[in-house]
A and B are shown apart, each in its own frame.
Chain A
Amino acid sequence: MKFRHLLLATLAVAVGVTGVFAAKVAAAAEQFIPMLVYRTGPYAPSGIPVANGFRDYYTLVNKRDGGINGVKVTFEECETKYNTKLGVECYEKLKNKGSTGASLVNPFSTGITYQLIPKAPVDKIPILSMGYGRTAAADGRVFKWIFNFPTTYWSQASAFIKYVSRKEGGWDKLEGVKIAHVYHNSAYGKEANPTLKVLAKKYGFKLTLLAVDHPGQEQKATWLQIRRLKPKWIFMSGWGVMNSVAIKEAAAINYPMDHFVGNWWSGTDADVIPAGDGAIGYTSTAFHDAGIGFKVHDDIIKYIYGGDLAKAKENNIGEVLYNRTLVNAMFGIEAIRTAMGKFGNKPMTGEQVRWGLENLDITEARLKELGMEGFTKPIKVSCADHETMGPLRIQQWDGKKWSFISDWIKPMREVVRPMIEKAAAAYAKEQNITPRAC
């Protein structure tokens, strides 16, 4: 009897020890990425495709490629409800997970990004705020740990004005044209205002700024002002329910929808579908394609959903925000891969991933290998330029799907970059940061 007990105890210890050892070995070969998601709350319709996109891409990398150069990707979701305070709590909860801590963080909220910016150099965890967050962070000399490629709100605003000038028949035709910016009354919504003001002064168009309070369920006053003002073009920086209500209100006052251009957070399926037929003709900016016609989608359907397209669609495949997250997740994974090219095929620390982000060079050929040829544009990040000022296109909703109606439009670097450098210098002065020499 005693011998039996001794044998069982020995076995238990052996299982425990080998289990711990195996877990450590597994952890040692894993790259942890925290996922700050919002599957509940007022912004859940936007948050769900984002969360599913990240989850599916990381899972695809593991199932299709066996991880990044053999290192498995692990991730954990934390619910933020798009609430800045909860977002910071999630970051604190997840930042030390995994064998090397968090590789990088994708806050997916401008508010959370602003709160994490001072933490990044302290925790040595880079932030990838892809196409959102603090625009001035594009200046890598000041914001060493923050990356906001492929483009920013300021670049986007300049590309929108360039699009309008083309439609109007030239820069000289902008003089006196009325343009309204309908924006979410938050740090995010206000981001485009400085650029639009500078461009209004430069080209003589008449700019009106109209703020809409959170959450934007009631906007009659805004659209009465639009009706009186009769702007020829409307640019919208909205989010969540604000977008669909705005589109519906625009349709109700018979505003020409092809002159109503949302920014890339105001051009998603969740924005147009609730507005029904009224949304037909509505346009928005985008830096990637919509729909499921790419190899990366085929791979996701094959490796994750076992060929079940209906199941994949239930999980938002092909929706604008899902596709955007595929691009976002791909940038993160490729940055880790770039870092491994220098530091070896093992789990990377945040500091090493930061190097990978700064040296990221995704060519057309690489996009093709990743199944994303033509899905988005190549990018090359540098020490000084964390944005790359990538081009964007205008997409239009036809009642069933989004289609591009413009070529790629390059932002106005000569206008935006000096503004970014000025804002970054002001931040550096305020925070007592000595800019790096790049």
Chain B
Amino acid sequence: MDLVNVLFIAPFLDMADAPVFLAEVVISGVLTGVMYSLVALGFVLIFKASGVFNFAQGAMVLFAALTLVGLMERGVPVWLALIGTAAVMVALAFVIERVMLRPLINQEGIILFMATIGLDFLLQGVGQIAWGSNVKVLNIGIPNKSFEVGGILLNEFDLFAALIAAVLVGVLAVFFQKTAIGRALRAVADDHQAALAVGIPLKTIWVIVWSVAGIVALVAGIMWGAKSGVQFSLSLIALKSLPVLILGGFTSIPGAIIGGLIIGVGEKIAEIYWGPAFGGAIEGWFAYMLALVFLLFRPQGLFGERIIERV
């Protein structure tokens, strides 16, 4: 009876008892979810355009943030450091295409996935060798004051991050849906050989998509790095975006956003209202549990392309 109360009655009574706090929990979850989406977007872009699950996306976030802060520490102005880092990420895309992807054209997805695991280790190592493993402060002037609206505490930084994510999603959606390159990207994702047959330059497309994913990683690195300092643990943020991808679908940009919001809000509500029943710290595994439930009923995610296999 006590268990029934703790799991099915007390949490809802608690919510009803303090609706303003509930609203704050939901808003906080939304804003956290946006931050997860920023990382998830990088995965989606590469998967959508090349069918590769890029295990190194977290390492790309770390590498981009380390490069940016490393340049700034050497006296490079913020705007120039941003351009320089973007250029490094584009150069990285060229190298990845030439050294890693080109020799693996038409290989199984699992082979490409394994290659990205290697890339993950490489980027983590190179980033730390080049810029050091010490924690670095990243301050590019994003406001960080808190203020109350109707009893709900909001933070300027979180709102700024949400705005950045919204702009990024808008730009990427237009890029994929309305431009010739975007359509080519989608064609490559469907079938490498068919895309090549109709004259789509596969190598160029891969460089473009890895470059865009690199720049998205830079944005995610800036937002997370400004929050916690730039350090190795940034690469672990990728683990938080996996359930987001499972929920939203690996091929959908809006899915990455919606998935992020569901995970963000879900884990906050779970932690605060159901956490005490399990001894706390449940938000980490709750996101994965939610993703598992989705996998059972909708393996392609909310917005992912339906998986149809010819037999």
Known contacts: A44-B128, A228-B18. The answer to whether A221 contacts B283 by CB under 8 A is yes
A240–B233 contact, CB under 8 A? yes
B233–A215 contact, CB under 8 A? yes
A220–B28 contact, CB under 8 A? yes
Residues of A within 8 A of B234 (CB): 217
Name A42's contact: one of B153, B155, B231 (CB within 8 Å): B231
Name A213's contact: one of B128, B133, B153, B281 (CB within 8 Å): B281
Residues of A within 8 A of B284 (CB): 213-214
Across the interface, name the chain A residue whose C-beta is closest to B285: A213
Known contacts: A211-B281, A224-B268. The answer to whether A244 contacts B133 by CB under 8 A is no
Across the interface, name the chain A residue whose C-beta is closest to B137: A274
- Which residues A234-264 have CB closer than 8 A to chain B? 240-241, 244-245, 248, 252-254
Residues of B within 8 A of A40 (CB): 128, 133, 232
Residues of A within 8 A of B29 (CB): 220
Binds A, one of B193-201, B210-218, B222-230: B222-230
Known contacts: A228-B18, A273-B135, A273-B229. The answer to whether A217 contacts B281 by CB under 8 A is no
> Is A419's CB within 8 Å of the partner chain B?
no
> Is B280's CB within 8 Å of the partner chain A?
yes
- Which residues A304-335 have CB closer than 8 A to chain B? none
Binds A, one of B44-52, B101-109, B178-186, B271-279: B271-279
> Is A403's CB within 8 Å of the partner chain B?
no
Mask of B30-41 contacts with A, CB within 8 angstroms, 1/0: 011001000000
Known contacts: A44-B231, A252-B146. The answer to whether A221 contacts B137 by CB under 8 A is no
Query: A interface, by DSSP: helix, strand, loop or mixed?
Result: helix
Known contacts: A40-B133, A213-B284, A224-B28. The answer to whether A276 contacts B228 by CB under 8 A is no
Smallest CB separation, A343 vs chain B (Å): 40
> Is B262's CB within 8 Å of the partner chain A?
no
**What is the CA–CA distance of A220 and B35 in the complex, to the nearest angstrom?**
12
Smallest CB separation, B245 vs chain A (Å): 17
Residues of A within 8 A of B271 (CB): 221-222
**What is the CA–CA distance of A391 and B153 in the complex, to the nearest angstrom?**
39
> Is B204's CB within 8 Å of the partner chain A?
no
A41–B268 contact, CB under 8 A? no
* Category for how many chain B residues contact A: 35 or more
A252–B279 contact, CB under 8 A? no
- Which residues B105-142 have CB closer than 8 A to chain A? 128, 133-137, 139
Residues of B within 8 A of A222 (CB): 271
> Is B160's CB within 8 Å of the partner chain A?
no
Residues of B within 8 A of A245 (CB): 227-228
| Most chain A CB neighbours (cut-off 10 Å) among B133, B136, B240, B284 | B133
Residues of A within 8 A of B89 (CB): none
Known contacts: A40-B232, A224-B24, A274-B229. The answer to whether A212 contacts B281 by CB under 8 A is yes
B18–A241 contact, CB under 8 A? no
A44–B227 contact, CB under 8 A? no
> Is A218's CB within 8 Å of the partner chain B?
yes
Residues of B within 8 A of A276 (CB): 137, 139
Residues of A within 8 A of B237 (CB): 217
> Is B188's CB within 8 Å of the partner chain A?
no
> Is A412's CB within 8 Å of the partner chain B?
no
B133–A45 contact, CB under 8 A? yes
**What is the CA–CA distance of A274 and B135 in the complex, to the nearest angstrom?**
7
Smallest CB separation, B139 vs chain A (Å): 7
B240–A218 contact, CB under 8 A? yes
**What is the CA–CA distance of A42 and B146 in the complex, to the nearest angstrom?**
29
- Which residues B260-301 have CB closer than 8 A to chain A? 267-268, 271-272, 275, 279-281, 283-284
| Most chain B CB neighbours (cut-off 10 Å) among A212, A220, A254 | A220
Smallest CB separation, A228 vs chain B (Å): 6
Mask of A262-290 contacts with B, CB within 8 angstroms, 1/0: 00000000100110101000000000000
Known contacts: A212-B281, A248-B228. The answer to whether A224 contacts B137 by CB under 8 A is no
Residues of A within 8 A of B28 (CB): 220-221, 224
Residues of A within 8 A of B231 (CB): 42, 44-45, 241, 274
A39–B32 contact, CB under 8 A? no
B146–A253 contact, CB under 8 A? yes
B146–A241 contact, CB under 8 A? no
> Is A167's CB within 8 Å of the partner chain B?
no
Residues of A within 8 A of B229 (CB): 45, 241, 244, 273-274
> Is B25's CB within 8 Å of the partner chain A?
yes
B236–A217 contact, CB under 8 A? yes
> Is A28's CB within 8 Å of the partner chain B?
no
Residues of B within 8 A of A39 (CB): 133
B279–A241 contact, CB under 8 A? no
> Is A227's CB within 8 Å of the partner chain B?
yes
| Most chain A CB neighbours (cut-off 10 Å) among B229, B236, B237, B272 | B229
- Which residues A196-239 have CB closer than 8 A to chain B? 209-215, 217-218, 220-222, 224-225, 227-228
**What is the CA–CA distance of A278 and B143 in the complex, to the nearest angstrom?**
13
Known contacts: A44-B134, A45-B135. The answer to whether A221 contacts B267 by CB under 8 A is yes
**What is the CA–CA distance of A29 and B136 in the complex, to the nearest angstrom?**
42
Mask of A161-188 contacts with B, CB within 8 angstroms, 1/0: 0000000000000000000000001000
> Is B144's CB within 8 Å of the partner chain A?
yes
Name B153's contact: one of A211, A225, A253 (CB within 8 Å): A253
Smallest CB separation, A251 vs chain B (Å): 8
**What is the CA–CA distance of A214 and B229 in the complex, to the nearest angstrom?**
16
**What is the CA–CA distance of A131 and B25 in the complex, to the nearest angstrom?**
37
> Is A425's CB within 8 Å of the partner chain B?
no
Q: 11 additional contacts, CB 8 Å, given A42-B231, A220-B268, A244-B229?
A: A44-B232, A211-B279, A212-B281, A217-B240, A218-B283, A220-B31, A224-B28, A227-B24, A252-B155, A253-B146, A254-B146
Show 5 residue pairs from A and B whose CB-CB distance is below 8 angstroms, ordered by the A residue: A40-B232, A185-B281, A211-B280, A220-B28, A224-B21
Closest 5 CB pairs of A and B: A274-B229, A211-B281, A44-B133, A221-B271, A45-B135
